[in-house]
Amino acid sequence: MIKIMLTAALVLFSVAIAIALYRIISGPSLPDRVVAMDMIVVNLISAVAIISILLETKAFLEVILILGILAFISTIALSKYVERGVIIERKRNR
């Protein structure tokens, strides 16, 4: 019963990832695609948590933390690119 419910939750998360993938392919602007990318990584985090319950291991819990940090850094870099055109700015006086 527990295994069936966990598998159903995994299937629902992959449905959410597939729908966000459709938004990445057909999004009209670049911020649409970045928002959908952020949502894919967030769903991937919870999929990793469910898989680590299903396999009865604690070895995948670092993956959750690292995926969270990577999603935050990549979203901030992409938003700086959308806003200003560069990600790392040069020094102004020289």
Among 52, 86, 92, 93, binds another protein (CB under 8 A): 52
Lookup result for tokens 């695609």: 33
Among 25, 36, 89, 91, binds another protein (CB under 8 A): 36
Q: Which two tokens stand for residue 61?
A: 């819990």
Indicate the SS3 state at residue 56: coil
42 binds another protein (CB under 8 A): yes
Q: What whole-number distance in Å separates Cα of residue 39 and Cα of residue 36?
A: 5
Nearer to another protein, 34 or 93 (CB): 34
**What are the C-alpha distances in Å from 23 to residues 4, 18, 51, 74, 79?**
29, 9, 25, 18, 18
Q: Which residues bind another protein (CB under 8 A)?
A: 1-2, 5-6, 8-10, 12-13, 15-17, 19-20, 22-23, 29, 31-32, 34-36, 38-39, 42-43, 45-46, 49-50, 52-53, 56, 58, 61-62, 64-65, 68-69, 71-72, 75-76, 78-80, 82-83
